[in-house]
Chains A and B, each alone.
Chain A
Amino acid sequence: DTAVSQTPKYLVTQMGNDKSIKCEQNLGHDTMYWYKQDSKKFLKIMFSYNNKELIINETVPNRFSPKSPDKAHLNLHINSLELGDSAVYFCASSSGASGPYEQYFGPGTRLTVT
């Protein structure tokens, strides 16, 4: 029983292509996130949705578009991929309108743009 799952695990594509990454959580959480981990392992928030509503949108190129069809799913679509988009993308989820916002992470999607 995977709590937070992502597909695909690996994604290799060429510059200029459009790709999507999917995330699903079965924890009953109401908030989901996308984080980007660069080659130096640094982790940074990209987006967050609470009950299907966008609540965090950091400084991310508008080629990145998140979409949350329901509370259990958060997808990330990337247009016109660039070399600099190569990274590991992690989905996470948390529960509650208040509290510590403890988050549970998916296994990551390693995106390589050639």
Chain B
Amino acid sequence: GDSVTQMEGPVTLSEEAFLTINCTYTATGYPSLFWYVQYPGEGLQLLLKATKADDKGSNKGFEATYRKETTSFHLEKGSVQVSDSAVYFCALTNQGTGRRALTFGSGTRLQVQP
């Protein structure tokens, strides 16, 4: 079945540092890839998405590129802020198999210190 692997956290950075959170996936067919963010005590918010190979998703300074050759969708931000502290989830759905439900990675907690 489909699966998503994320780097273990927590990731602790100082404000204005560069962020990378690694995500790789295993899926048959044509997965769509997502990053969701969960702020403390809140639900999940869609951060960005990419639906086909070489697509770049971007939002709020975050970016991720769908790399089919390496089956990866790494999340990056050039300069993090304290307000970015949250748990980040990489996830996929799979049009190829018709699977609509999200398959999530285990989440990566980001802590940004002032």
Contact = CB atoms under 8 A, between A and B. Distances in A.
A102 B49 contact: yes
Nearest to B89: A43
Contacts of A40: 106
B100 A31 contact: yes
Contact of A100 (B32, B87, B106): B32
Given A43-B89, A101-B32, A102-B34, A48 B100 contact: yes
B66 to A, nearest CB: 11
A90 B49 CA distance: 20
A102 B48 CA distance: 10
A102 B101 contact: no
Contacts of B43: 90, 105-108
User: Chain B: interface secondary structure?
Assistant: strand
A15 B45 CA distance: 32
Contacts of A31: 100
Chain B interface size band reads 20 to 34
Contacts, number: 65
Nearest to B50: A100
Contact of A103 (B38, B95, B102, B109): B102
A94 interface: yes
Contacts of A56: 100-101
Interface residues of A, number: 27
A7 to B, nearest CB: 13
A101 B95 CA distance: 8
Contacts of B109: 41
Interface of B: 32, 34, 36, 38, 42-46, 49, 51, 87, 89, 93, 95, 100-104, 106-107, 109
3 closest Cβ contacts across the A-B interface? A100-B32, A45-B101, A101-B93
Interface of A: 31, 33, 35, 40-45, 48, 50, 55-56, 90, 92, 94, 98-108
Given A35-B102, A42-B104, A100-B93, 13 more contacts: A33-B102, A40-B106, A41-B109, A43-B104, A48-B101, A99-B95, A100-B49, A100-B95, A101-B101, A102-B32, A102-B49, A103-B102, A104-B46
